[in-house]
Amino acid sequence: MSTTFQLDTATSRANPTPAPMKRLTVPKIMRRKFEGKTEEPLVMLTAYTARQAQLLDPHCDMLLVGDSLGQVIYGLPSTLPVTLDMMIAHGAAVVRGSYHSLVIVDMPFGSYEASPQQAFESASRIMAETGAAAVKLEGGQAMAETIAFLSARGIPVMGHVGLTPQAVNALGGYMARGRNEAEEAKIIADGVAVAEAGAFGVVIEGVVEDIAIALTEKVAIPTIGIGASAQCDGQVLVTEDMLGMFERVPRFVKRYNDIATIISDTAATYAREVRERSFPGDEQIYPARKD
């Protein structure tokens, strides 16, 4: 049964699509890979707010509410301080602002590693309080039991292998992975373990291209590359990086615009007009009542 979403258009600044629209589902995303069809690569971007979701939704297959919001939105030094409550608040906003894309919410550091039971408690909160379709967690073989536990209980899971930002302290930094045979073997084993445990997809981040291609060919679930290979089954980027909101971005990011300069220039124009009293003008002022 389809559901029609309605908003008060008189009070909402940003109106989502008023007509009913069927969301992409986990099985539909998986079919892009395991049915062997020749399909366009899957498109995924991060989203953290309702308005951002509205703008990205028509162009994406999946929206990821990434724990990168810690750095992008909150100015934190890493993803580690991000809390479950933060992820839930932003996840709910993205779900409210989207109608087409599959919404996936990152599980933050410390919310799932202790045990499968802890992971279920955290993931069930995310699913129930946001309306998202799936969660994502980092780790390969070490998380296989947890992925299987969640999947068996109706919680779709996307894995994440290679460069895993939540483990940055153990990895020794954000450098690319797979530079030697031991790292290559671990990344492949991690990806296979995630797939065999029941994940519906896996992000491959910051790895040597040959490894990403090999893993994509080896597993029967969609692979989503970020700093990996164009031969992955899809791609993801942090939206703010892609838009040019920051001066420094990882090597694997292509800056498609320079939104930071646009915002700065616009704010400068506004500030100048305020200081010279040319804003507000007649068009922005309510005239006195004429008796």
CA distance 179 to 198: 28
Q: At what angle do helices 144-152 and 181-197 cross, to 10 degrees?
A: 20
Residue for token pair 């309080």: 129
* H or E, element range at 127: helix 116-130
CA distance 158 to 195: 9
For the record, the structure tokens of 20 come out as 């009913």
Q: Strand pairing of 42-46 and 62-65?
A: parallel
Name the nearest CA neighbour of 203 among 186, 220, 216: 216
106 is in an annotated binding site: yes
User: DSSP labels for 47-72?
Assistant: --SHHHHHHHGGG-SEEEE-TTHHHH
Active site (annotated) includes residue 205: yes
37 is in an annotated binding site: no
78 is in an annotated binding site: no
Q: Judge whether 193 and 180 are in contact, CB under 8 Å.
A: no
Q: Which of 205, 240, 247, 283 is catalytic?
A: 205
Name the nearest CA neighbour of 164 among 227, 216, 103: 227
CA distance 259 to 55: 15
67 is in an annotated binding site: yes
CA distance 73 to 83: 13
Q: Judge whether 47 and 62 are in contact, CB under 8 Å.
A: no
Q: Strand pairing of 157-162 and 234-237?
A: unpaired
Residue ranges for the binding site? 67-68, 106, 136, 138
- Residue positions in the annotated binding site for 3-methyl-2-oxobutanoate? 67-68, 106, 136
Known binding residues for Mg(2+) are: 67, 106, 138
**Residues labelled as active-site residues:** 205
